[in-house]
Structure 1
């Protein structure tokens, strides 16, 4: 009987590094995330149990040290995920902007928004063939991972590990309770204020400040706003959106994130493949893996900006957690040409996206 089978029968917890290493040895082909869930520990705890100061090394997770070091690796694969969606993007880490509360990587390929307080534990893994950097939050949940590609600089990875190595190379991490997903929060008494202030938006980033001020959150506001602000669509609308954008070569921006990192793909997509419960985008340099069966609500959302209307498709799970957002991608130079744009018209350069969303509205309304 394997350790995993024993765990299933006794419901005991694998809470020592030695027992976790033994379970990993018995299940060498299991993904760390899946094995950790089976064992009743976080993925971060499982990775920490493998720390030996050589093939698995604890490193400094601070963004101002880690991200410049990642830049030296050249082209890599950046991975950000939540419970329902995995976003993988190839490229180098370029154009880093540090911030106390939020930092950014704004390269043409890897585009990230990072929230430093959630970057708590980091590890460098090297089994001689595969090399990666993996970052976890206080609960031990994965925030961001970086996997080396054949064209990556292995010598730079060795230098990164040496430079960022922590004195503490223990095989155990202390974890905090996982923060629960905030359910939809509405305030119908403030509906008129919500709509009036929504009409005054000049930037999509102002929206969360508005909902917070009104004691709501994103999903709660969508549920009560009504047309033309937010329109409910069928859950199948996300897969249909990806399919239509691939067929029409419609440029999009796809946002997937968790509490500590948001990762963005900008451009066209091409190959959309369903595989069991997963909807996959399988393109060179960009992969998306979406659990279609996790989608409980989909909203078509319109927000005015100073350059025109930003229209998005946004998917949520049954707990109210945001799974992903899809926006139309503006054509290069469209912002400069849109200074006098009608904010009720679609953002310049997103006409193809606007046509797709209007068709979805007509055919896939909830």
Structure 2
């Protein structure tokens, strides 16, 4: 049962949102000084153009439901980048610390401890009703969203809204955890490079870094060439534009603390819109605020299938090869700054 005080607070949030200039939920919430999840929670009451139902957020409960929805659009974002993929959720592998969706189009890495709040949301559009499942972390920031499409099974969505229904009201949101800066210890550079040379799989990199009490960015800064080469911030845009229409398959990773979403395949159409660089395809969209990119690194990791080379995104992994010469040539030509400070 929602208390009168909470109900009044939710009504106040709805009124403030209605009075603000129209915007996407994330931007609208920021304008009125709230987490996005507070805006979603407030619409569990009222009779406005959209409605929400609180549901269980645990991936092991949600993902079997999502797999039954049929074709949907999966969205994962952080503050400056958004990825959207159309497809079917398949191959859910759960776990206490991490889980995976391993479908041919929707490919996710899920970290359950950050899945704190969730709602089933209905929003009236100009011509239709838009339905979604939206998951947020403890601070109320979006972790992952699933949007139903024309062919999705609405009966499964309706059943999930009832079967997974959770306690309502306005949650107490935790303070937002600041992004971790680079962990740098130049004294460990020799050990890091030795361990890097001995890797036989790219996944061993994070194990190596954690054992040394470093992190990804800190390791890049102290390892230096040939392992990590700093590029200009504009190199990401240059890489995307170089890939456009080339038919060269790549992997593009976009994530936050609770979810990483992966696109595998070529990039056909890349277009700038103001500060945004956009990949616009029928079943895959990517939107990156190019002006918010601070550091870019070309990174090479040894594997049993050849060196894996990345610039914010890895070349497609095949069983027989981890190295694509056209991708290596593109990366080699990306702009680098004159100096690489620690």
TM-score by length of 2: 0.91
- Partners in 2 of 1:95 and 1:40 — Cα distance? 39
Quote the residue 1:25 is aligned against.
Answer: 18
Taking the TM superposition and a 5 Å limit, the aligned residue runs for 1:251-290 are: 251-290=249-288
Bigger mean CA deviation after superposition, 49-58 or 241-250: 49-58
Bigger mean CA deviation after superposition, 121-130 or 192-201: 121-130
1:49 aligns with 2:49: no
- Partners in 2 of 1:114 and 1:155 — Cα distance? 25
C-alpha displacement of 1:243: 0.8
Q: Is the 8 A contact 1:105 1:112 kept in 2?
A: yes
- Partners in 2 of 1:127 and 1:195 — Cα distance? 52
1:110 aligns with 2:106: yes
Quote the residue 1:86 is aligned against.
Answer: 82
1:135 aligns with 2:109: no
C-alpha displacement of 1:49: 1.0
C-alpha displacement of 1:169: 2.1
C-alpha displacement of 1:207: 1.3
CA distances 1:144-192 after superposition (whole Å, capped 9, x unpaired): 00111112111221112122112x122x011111111111111111110
- Secondary structure of the residue that 1:144 maps to in structure 2? strand
Aligned residue among 53, 61, 66 for 1:70: 66
Extract unaligned runs of 5+ from structure 2: 1-7
- Partners in 1 of 2:180 and 2:161 — Cα distance? 37
Q: Is the 8 A contact 2:55 2:118 kept in 1?
A: yes
- Partners in 1 of 2:70 and 2:273 — Cα distance? 32
Quote the residue 2:168 is aligned against.
Answer: 169
Q: Is the 8 A contact 1:32 1:46 kept in 2?
A: yes
Quote the residue 2:3 is aligned against.
Answer: none
Q: Is the 8 A contact 1:52 1:169 kept in 2?
A: no
- Partners in 1 of 2:46 and 2:280 — Cα distance? 35
- Partners in 2 of 1:249 and 1:228 — Cα distance? 27
CA distances 1:108-138 after superposition (whole Å, capped 9, x unpaired): 0000000001001000011351001100000
Aligned alpha-carbon RMSD (Å): 1.7
Aligned residue among 180, 183, 187 for 2:181: 183
Bigger mean CA deviation after superposition, 26-35 or 92-101: 26-35
- Secondary structure of the residue that 1:151 maps to in structure 2? coil
Q: Is the 8 A contact 2:122 2:131 kept in 1?
A: yes
- Partners in 2 of 1:124 and 1:356 — Cα distance? 43
Quote the residue 1:153 is aligned against.
Answer: 153
C-alpha displacement of 1:261: 0.2
Quote the residue 2:4 is aligned against.
Answer: none
TM-score by length of 1: 0.85
- Partners in 2 of 1:68 and 1:159 — Cα distance? 12
1:121 aligns with 2:97: no
- Secondary structure of the residue that 2:31 maps to in structure 1? helix
- Partners in 2 of 1:110 and 1:88 — Cα distance? 9
C-alpha displacement of 1:285: 0.4
Extract unaligned runs of 5+ from structure 1: 1-14, 314-324, 339-346
Q: Is the 8 A contact 1:255 1:265 kept in 2?
A: yes
Quote the residue 1:357 is aligned against.
Answer: 331
CA distances 1:53-103 after superposition (whole Å, capped 9, x unpaired): 993100011111100100111111100001110011110110100111000
- Secondary structure of the residue that 1:308 maps to in structure 2? coil
- Secondary structure of the residue that 1:249 maps to in structure 2? coil
- Partners in 1 of 2:304 and 2:38 — Cα distance? 46
Quote the residue 2:94 is aligned against.
Answer: 98
